[in-house]
């Protein structure tokens, strides 16, 4: 692989890390991580003057998230193809779980407003899993890319 690709992958990993962290910050500040705060966000509250979310309102948020999360995971997975064989094998299951966590994170909101309040716990678990796996895969990608850059620079 050409050295410029290594740098591009490293920059992508840094920007993806910033994206992941800013998304987590927005999630926690808007929804919180507690059962009650997420329940209030989706189902509303008379005492807090919060309106319940509608299916249409959730759809407006879910559609861009489906595209963005899918693309993010696809690109991370694609770049992991350039890592060594051991890292590829180690990243395969977390990458599949990342797709599942993203889908559960998006779908759980629709199920919550339909009265399936159990999915509040699924929403919390999916969000945490999404963050942990995303950070792990970006670590693998960035670590391997930096080692590859250093190895290539040492040969010249």
Tokens representing 41 are 């966000």
Is the dihedral angle over the CA atoms 111, 123, 18, 144 positive or is it negative? Answer: negative
First to last CA, the chain: 15
Strand, helix or coil for residue 50:
strand
Q: Model confidence over 124-155: pLDDT tens digits?
A: 999 999 999 999 999 999 999 998 888 877 76
Ramachandran angles phi, psi of 44, nearest 5°: 80, 175
Residue 48 has what pLDDT? 74
Token pair in block for residue 79: 């770049």
Rounded to two decimals, the pTM is: 0.89
For residues 54, 22, 13, 102, the Cα torsion angle rounded to the nearest 10 degrees is: -30
């Amino acid at each position: 692989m050409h050295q410029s690709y290594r740098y591009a992958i490293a920059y992508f990993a840094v920007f993806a890390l910033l994206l992941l962290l800013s998304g987590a910050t927005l999630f926690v500040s808007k929804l919180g991580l507690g059962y009650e705060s997420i329940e209030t966000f989706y189902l509303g509250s008379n005492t807090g003057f919060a309106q319940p979310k509608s299916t249409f309102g959730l759809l407006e948020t879910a559609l861009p998230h489906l595209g963005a999360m899918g693309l993010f995971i696809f690109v991370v997975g694609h770049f992991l193809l350039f890592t060594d064989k051991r890292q590829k094998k180690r990243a395969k299951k977390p990458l599949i779980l990342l797709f599942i966590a993203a889908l559960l994170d998006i779908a759980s909101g629709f199920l919550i407003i339909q009265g399936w309040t159990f999915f509040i716990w699924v929403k919390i678990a999916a969000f945490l899993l999404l963050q942990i796996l995303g950070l792990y895969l970006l670590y693998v990608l960035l670590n391997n890319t930096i080692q590859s850059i250093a190895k290539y620079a040492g040969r010249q």
